[in-house]
Structure 1
Amino acid sequence: MKKLILSVGVMSLSIFAYAQKSEVAEAKKSWDLFQAMNQAQDLQKNLAGLNKGLTHTDAAIAHEKTKNAVEPWSYRASMASAIALLDTTSEANSIAKQKIAEEAILKTEELDKKGEHKDAMANAKINIANAIQARGIRAYNKKDYATAFKIFTEITEKNPTDTSMYLNAGVAAKQAQNYAGAVKNFKKVVELNGPDAKNLLLEAINIELVNLKDTTAGLATIEQALKKFPDDPDFVGTQTDIYIVRGEIEKSQESLGKLIAKDPNKAIYHFLLGETYYKQALSVQNERQKLDPKKVKEYNALTAKMTALIDKSLPFYKKAYDLDPKATHTLEALKQIYAFKNDTKSYEEAKKLLDALQKQ
């Protein structure tokens, strides 16, 4: 949270009729007293003092002779924003004082032709931003994620470049099961070049695939991710899995073929190409398991199809191993294939290598 700034510059008072001048002077006195105490006393006394000062500004801005004077509006903005930030006991009062402060800031900026109250208004805006953020954090800690999302979204609307608040909004939205809201905010962080872009894109893709069950949206996000992280194996691998699930094997193999042509020494691409065949084989195996055992001809046909797919995967896994002998996922795949083929010697070799890697 940004540092709390509650100070204001020296504000000169115009000459008004005594009664009106008194209201402004009393408002200034309340504000100066609050600053002098530096919030050392308890919350209720601070709030009482600020509310007293705010009452004096009520009278000043209501009077014909002082309603367009900049000083009472400036004090009003400072005190109301301070109350909005400090009052953690009443959300309703904090929000009400925030609205008063926002109105007063606009009026002060309209009247302050010389910019003498610029710093005070900047401080009041910081108080408001911190007040809203504090309410969002309190809501989140209370597990009121929907409210937290609403509050963090309010901050992003006031400051559309604040990546941390988009991230907060995304996390709160996910917790509230507002998955579309989570994806939107995570992508906004990436769009604004915020930190941890890759993981946020992976999270957005996972939400689209798992929670929203929207493979089309997931593929679109992967395409977006690959523009920022060209040929990244995590995104390529997820893309491959989606194509396989959707039965669009040729698209996956075409994409991986282009990547291998571009970088033939990248083991992960060969591994993923092997996966396009092996996962098809697993799908055929599942189909075979559901078959009536009496249907021998159909069973044998599915077995032959499964074996052919496994045989096609094997050269790619071997190539991946040659390029990266320490990749456990490749050895695991090879071990499974050799087990299926009853190739005991190769199975034992793969198992031995895998066990050795896992002990490192």
Structure 2
Amino acid sequence: MNLTKSILFAGVLLTAGSTTVFAQSGNVKKAKSNFTKFEELKAANTAALGKGNLTSAQEAIDAAIVHEKTQNDPEAWAVYSLVYANIASLDKNVEAANKAIEGIKKATELDADKKNEANIKAAGQTLGQFRFNEGVAAWDKQDYPTAYKEFSGALDYLPGDTTLTYYSGLAAVQNKDYDNAIARYKALVPVKDYSAHKSIMVDLPKLYLSKQDTAAALASAAEAAAAYPNDNAAVVQNIELNLITGNEAKVVSDIEAQIAKDASNKSLHYYLGLAYSTSRQAEKALESYKKALEIDPNYLEANTNAAVVIMNSGRDELIALNDNKSLQPKDYNAKVAALKEKIGRALPYLQKSVEADPKNVDALRNLKNFYDFMQDEAKSTETQAKIDAIK
């Protein structure tokens, strides 16, 4: 993923300090004047042309913050933070960024009457932009721990910025730092107009599952499905999680409602089959699997499960026959023959499963079980040989 580098901020405001212009130190005035010229060129997208002005501002403000008359002047420190934040941004200079951080801290401590608040905030915005760009550079190098650190650091100066919040969440995901990833994503859940809101809602349950927090994953999946009822990914995820956690009876109506909107979605018919299978409605399950196969005859899972439904039904009948001691051999044999015919319906599905994935051991074992029941020793031996070859 390439992360954009275009967060825009408001222009810097150089407001008057607590003293009048006439009482100001010469170095603070010089720094402000040169920085204003730099800002004008920066606003015209020609910041490089103003580099000389920025250097002059740097020299003047460095002198101001150590002079006895201005070393505790909040305006001097506010300008200091502005100058060094812009040097950091222009030159990708970490040392300058650290000085800007120092300047913001000192200016904030000294600015009791908040007259330099706008300049301090502007310095923070520029520093946030610098750390954002550092995060992007780290992301491009796949250095995700550093990317997370920089994006999170930028949030210190740009609290609530949706792009930074999302990117820091993405970096946390890459670090498998699921706690921080969840915290960032949850912060964006209320921001419904954010461009990545749907992706965040759909991905959040997966993050909870990574922490094995099934209850939170279910709640989050339900919230995503409610927020985006026409989105297949959100709705199907909610269905899957409910099936995994044994809530198949509850989810049947949800699946049927989704099928009404998207009848050509083979997965939905398959999920409905799973729900019916789990709730022991074999015939309904088989019909759902068949509908999935009408859409995609080579659908491995639907073929496998259709065969399993048929064979399990036959197994249950065979157990009942074997338990019935009152049956005469002739009647028993007749019923077994009828049962073999019934179970024979599974063969096309079993064969399709093997065709779809010839090295699928489970599919081959199901086929072998079928031949064993049918007492087809040759086919059973042949299938076992295929299983052995895979091992």
Structure with the greater alpha carbon radius of gyration: 2
Q: Give the equivalent residue in structure 1 for 2:59.
A: 52
Looking at structure 1, the residues matched to 98 and 111 of structure 2 have their Cα atoms a distance apart, in angstroms, of: 20
Q: Distance in 2 between matches of 1:35 and 1:334?
A: 65
1:8–1:120 Cα contact (<8 Å) kept: yes
Q: Alignment partner of 1:55: what SS?
A: helix
Equivalent pair of 2:289/2:303 in contact (CA under 8 Å): no
Alpha-carbon separation, structure 2, partners of 1:139 and 1:317: 47
2:287 is equivalent to residue 315 of structure 1: yes
| Corresponding residue of 1:131 | 130
For 1:337 and 1:177, locate their aligned partners in 2 and report how far apart those are by CA, in whole Å: 34
Alignment partner, residue 69 of structure 2: 63
Contact kept in structure 2, 1:186 and 1:204, CA below 8 Å: yes
SS at match of 1:81: helix
Q: List per-residue Cα deviations over 1:57-80 (Å, max 9, x = no partner).
A: 3045x417x855x75355334313
Residue 219 of structure 1, CA deviation: 1.2
Cα offset, 1:173, TM superposition: 0.4
Do 2:155 and 2:165's aligned partners in 1 also have CA atoms closer than 8 Å?
A: yes
Deviation track 1:15-63 (CA, whole Å, cap 9, x = no partner) reads 23xxx633333434543564587543697x6775343122133045x41
Letter paired with 1:265: A
Deviations 1:71-118 (A, max 9, x none): 5355334313223323424x2441232331354367568353xxxx77
Name the aligned partner's letter for residue 2 of structure 1: I
- Match of residue 98 from structure 1: 101
Runs of 5+ unmatched residues, structure 1: 282-307, 355-360
Question: Residues of 2 paired with 1:161 and 1:182: CA distance?
Answer: 15
What amino acid is the match of 1:204? L
1:70-85 pair list within 5 angstroms: 72-85=76-89
Closer, same or farther: CA 234–225 of 1 in aligned 2, 3 Å: same
Task: Report percent identity of matched pairs.
Answer: 20
Query: Is 1:110–2:113 an aligned residue pair?
Result: yes
CA contact (8 A) 1:7 1:35 kept: yes
Q: Where does residue 197 of structure 1 map in the other structure?
A: 197
SS in 2 for 1:15: helix
Question: For each residue in 1:280-339, what CA deviation from the matched residue of structure 2 results, as whole angstroms up to 9, or x when unmatched?
Answer: 59xxxxxxxxxxxxxxxxxxxxxxxxxx77544112334667xxx6x4389665544566
2:253 corresponds in structure 1 to 257
CA 1:241 to 1:156, structure 2 compared with 1: closer, same or farther past 3 Å? Answer: same
Q: Answer yes or no: is 1:343 the counterpart of 2:345.
A: yes
Number of equivalences: 303
Q: 1:72 to 1:196 in 2, by over 3 A?
A: closer
| Equivalent residue runs for 1:274-293 within 5 Å | 274-278=273-277
Q: Which has the higher contact order (CA 8 A, sep 6+)?
A: 1
Q: Deviations over 1:254-291 (max 9, x none)?
A: 2323664x67835466542212245x59xxxxxxxxxx
Give, in whole Å, the separation in 2 of the partners of 1:58 and 1:9.
17
Runs of 5+ unmatched residues, structure 2:
1-5, 309-342, 357-391
Separation (CA, whole Å) in 1 of partners of 2:297 and 2:103: 61
Contact 2:132–2:151 at 8 Å: present in 1 too?
Answer: yes
CA RMSD, 1 decimal: 4.3
| Partner Cα distance (2:160, 2:39) in 1 | 31
Greater Cα offset, 337-346 or 76-85: 337-346
Residue type of the alignment partner of 1:219 = L
